Amino acid sequence: MVDIVKAMRWNYVSTVASEGNYGESGVDAFIQKSREDGGVCISQSVKIPREPKLGEFDKVIRRLSENPNARVVILFANEDDIRRILQAAKKANQTGHFIWVGSDSWGSKISPILNQEEMAEGAVTILPKRQSIRGFDRYFISRTLDNNRRNIWFAEFWENNFQCKLSRHALKKGSGIKKCTNHERIGKDSSYEQEGKVQFVVDAVYAMAHALHNMHKELCPGKVGLCSKMETINGTMLLKFIHNVNFTGIAGTPVIFNVNGDAPGRYEIYQYQMKHNTTEYKIIGHWADQLHLDMRWPGGTWQVPQSICSQPCHPGERKKTVKGVPCCWHCERCDGYQYQADTYSCKMCPQAACLYYIGRLTFIVMNIALEAELRDIC
């Protein structure tokens, strides 16, 4: 996500995190990477509590609006928080102002943007590069209340998926919700699309299985079942075996981990686009060690919208950086008989020397191109 921000030459952004490990760790990692790479400053860093109070999301939008130049908002938030942020932005008449850059918790999901698609237009989101697992589809759409009793959450899923109630006592008069018949079928009586992270869940289970197998071979050579050394598993030792697995995953890609325990990053980059009154998440790039992008902005333009703290200074002006915010500065014109020595300083002209090559500095002699060097005495 830092690479996306830098590629767009955005140097002034805000972050929003849902309270919890995912949101807070994601934003912390983004800020840390931004500092290491340099060139990106944080305008606002907002955390959404687990149980937001009334008006919490209006408050978030007000904070994000305090610095209108910081249009880009980095989101590490859950689906419900994303939906309510977009609602609050719409309520505040901020349609088209913010440029949302969402993590894989947003990805290509419809639920956060449903009925407020115009607020998400131009949003850039990421998802780990993955493949749909056909075997999982065949398995899941065959699940019923009768053959999946071992899953204690399946009944709740069934009610939500088919908008019905299993118990007649749970039906409320006038609610419009019917009683479940047990003849409903996933993918036939309801929409079904495989969740994007199924591949990684399957590979994670296999990684654990391979690690336990390798651990057993080392600690219990030639034995069937657990030996005394594995009756109490040492978590640190098991983690070492997990880090060292190397196998081909269910989608045909290698499953390996680096020294930090991370798998190789392979991401697809999406942009929510509107064209001919239809909207879609369109893949506009990918990332695997380096970034490849091809995106279009609202209105069909290729021009990248800005999210910068300060505009470039004009010739003859020096930058005066805001303390603690290197991406922000004020432009100060060089005084009197001074010239701009470099980006950050002005210097006095030496005595009996020219101010500068006036033919090069159009702000001294306006709209005149000089063929020769005109010199002035200080």
Distance of alpha carbon 281 from alpha carbon 287, whole angstroms? 17
What's the pLDDT at 315?
A: 87
Give 306-360 pLDDT, tens digit per residue.
999 999 998 888 999 888 888 999 999 988 778 888 888 998 877 544 544 454 5
Other CB atoms within 10 A of residue 377 CB: 10
Q: Are 270 and 281 in contact (CB under 8 A)?
A: yes
Write down the pLDDT at residue 210: 97
DSSP character at residue 113: G
Write the pLDDT tens digit of every residue in 231-258: 888 889 999 999 999 999 998 889 999 8
Question: What is the pTM assigned to this prediction?
Answer: 0.73
C-alpha angle 329/334/339, rounded to 5°?
Answer: 120
Question: Mind listing the domains of the chain with CATH numbers?
Answer: 2-129+266-293 (3.40.50.2300), 134-179 (no CATH), 198-255 (no CATH), 313-378 (2.10.50)
Task: Tell me what pLDDT residue 269 has.
Answer: 95
Distance between CA atoms of 104 and 85, rounded to whole angstroms? 17
- The pLDDT, as a whole number, for residue 362 is 52
Please list the ranges in the chain whose pLDDT falls under 50: 352-353, 355-357, 359, 371-378
